[in-house]
């Protein structure tokens, strides 16, 4: 087998030396596992952070990647849910446990570190993590859905209370989870607003049904946010954290909710607890999802015929270009790798 291997961690400028396509030896197929021939895989910011060493449990000489779509090429003798040739996707959330509210197993991990991941020609994985690819999705679209989709579904549908009158703010539009959150929230309300540091991304988001957006890099952006939302923000779906989120808290309506799934801008340096309790805000953290929630997410997508936005597709051999685009944050939607 061959895959994109992490040889060492370091700066983004050293990416060419740190990762490469190499042959690797896979474990022998067990009775409860299947082999998936990968058709498409998709990048997540997690892949970039791993190459920089900004992730726990780093294991070198590991195949990167958490998401893919493909076809079952072989299976163990105990695997009866699928046949060879079936088109499938993989749930990259491993050993979540039986508690839907949060993972409880000590062995919880995400496919692609420290287990060999999806940036390969074949993936060996337990059959319980395999799900049939929705027929209406292309292989490219299906590969974009699992990791970001489960995170976005939990942050947009399962955690907050959103109705048709809710004003929802999604921060950092353009990234995979933010874009998929937009996809899910559109099934609940038309009153969607976004932030970005890129005017082109704001224009793109408006073409997908967003009412308005503000550029947080511009002066008076908070005042502009209040203006476009008419001073009403009921729910914030945030993956940025940092002082950006701290500033937005000042604009959230009384009884509002903040759903946090990441902190790309780091910690909040000074949190106003008085405003938090006086406005009776609810702050909820979330990441990934349970196995049953993953199934619920797939069914929800099928019900509303939801399709992830694809930014670009690269041939597998052009992986460095794909990684660099992800690292630069220039994408709007998911970045896809195409196997030969």
Q: What is the CATH number of domain 2-146+288-338?
A: 3.90.180.10
Q: Where are the beta strands (DSSP E) in the chain?
A: 2-6, 19-23, 33-42, 62-63, 67-75, 87-90, 93-94, 109-110, 122-126, 130-132, 168-170, 192-196, 212-215, 235-238, 257-260, 282-285, 310-315, 334-338
Query: What pLDDT is attached to residue 271?
Result: 80
Q: Averaged over 56-71, what is the pLDDT? A: 95
Banded model confidence at residue 98, pLDDT cuts 50, 70, 90:
confident
Of 100-109, 115-124, 288-297, which gets the smallest average pLDDT? Answer: 100-109
More reliable by pLDDT, 163 or 244: 163
Q: Averaged over 132-144, what is the pLDDT? A: 98
Q: Tokens 């660099």 correspond to what residue?
A: 324
Query: What pLDDT is attached to residue 246?
Result: 84
Query: What pLDDT is attached to residue 23?
Result: 95
User: Among 301, 245, 302, 295, which residue's Cα sits nearest to residue 268?
Assistant: 245
Q: Are 260 and 284 in contact (CB under 8 A)?
A: yes
Q: Tokens 């990684």 correspond to what residue?
A: 323
Query: What pLDDT is attached to residue 104?
Result: 67
Highest mean predicted confidence (pLDDT) among 20-29, 51-60, 227-236: 227-236
Q: Averaged over 103-113, what is the pLDDT? A: 85
Q: Does domain 160-285 have CATH number 3.50.50.60?
A: no
**pLDDT one-digit tens code per residue, 77-95:** 999 999 999 999 999 999 9
Q: Does residue 229 register a pLDDT over 70? A: yes
**Could you tell me where in the chain the CATH 3.90.180.10 domains are found?**
2-146+288-338
Q: Does residue 99 register a pLDDT over 90? A: no
Q: How far apart are CA 66 and CA 273, in angstroms?
A: 37
Q: Does residue 2 register a pLDDT over 70? A: yes
Q: Does residue 97 register a pLDDT over 90? A: no
Q: How far apart are CA 170 and CA 135, in angstroms?
A: 29
**Could you tell me where in the chain the CATH 3.40.50.720 domains are found?**
160-285
**pLDDT one-digit tens code per residue, 261-293:** 988 888 888 887 888 899 999 999 999 999 999
Query: What pLDDT is attached to residue 64?
Result: 98
Helices 242-249 and 221-228 pack at an angle, to 10 degrees, of: 50
Banded model confidence at residue 55, pLDDT cuts 50, 70, 90:
confident
Banded model confidence at residue 107, pLDDT cuts 50, 70, 90:
confident
Looking at every residue in the chain, the average pLDDT score rounds to 94
**pLDDT one-digit tens code per residue, 161-220:** 999 999 999 999 998 999 999 999 999 999 999 999 999 999 999 999 999 999 999 999
């Amino acid at each position: 087998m061959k895959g994109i291997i992490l040889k060492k961690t370091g700066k983004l400028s050293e990416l060419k030396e740190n990762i490469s396509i190499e042959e690797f030896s896979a474990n022998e197929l067990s009775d409860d596992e299947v082999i998936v021939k990968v058709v498409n895989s998709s990048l997540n910011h997690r892949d970039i952070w791993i190459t920089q060493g900004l992730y726990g449990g780093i294991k070198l000489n590991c195949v990167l990647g958490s998401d893919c779509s493909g076809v079952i090429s072989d299976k163990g003798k105990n695997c009866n849910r699928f046949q060879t040739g079936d088109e499938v996707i993989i749930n990259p959330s491993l050993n979540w446990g039986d508690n839907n509210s949060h993972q409880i197993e000590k062995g919880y991990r995400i496919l692609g570190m420290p287990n060999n991941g999806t940036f390969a020609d074949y993936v060996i994985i337990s059959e319980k993590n395999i799900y049939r690819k929705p027929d209406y999705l292309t292989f490219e679209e299906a590969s974009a859905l699992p990791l970001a989709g489960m995170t976005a579904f939990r942050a947009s549908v399962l955690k907050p209370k959103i109705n048709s009158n809710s004003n929802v703010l999604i921060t950092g539009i353009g990234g995979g989870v933010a874009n998929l959150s937009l996809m899910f929230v559109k099934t609940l309300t038309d009153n969607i607003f976004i932030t970005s540091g890129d005017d082109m991304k704001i224009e793109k988001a408006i073409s997908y049904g967003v009412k308005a957006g503000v550029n947080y890099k511009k002066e008076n952006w908070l005042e502009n946010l209040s203006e476009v939302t008419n001073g009403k923000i009921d729910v914030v779906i945030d993956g940025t954290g940092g002082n950006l989120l701290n500033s937005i808290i000042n604009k959230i309506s009384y009884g509002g909710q903040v759903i946090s799934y990441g902190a790309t801008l780091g910690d909040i340096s000074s949190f106003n607890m008085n405003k938090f309790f006086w406005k009776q805000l609810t702050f909820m953290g979330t990441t990934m999802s349970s196995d049953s929630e993953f199934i619920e997410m797939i069914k929800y997508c099928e019900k509303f015929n939801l399709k992830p936005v694809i930014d670009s597709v690269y041939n597998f051999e052009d992986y460095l270009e794909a990684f660099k685009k992800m690292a630069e944050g220039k994408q709007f939607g998911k970045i896809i790798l195409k196997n030969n």
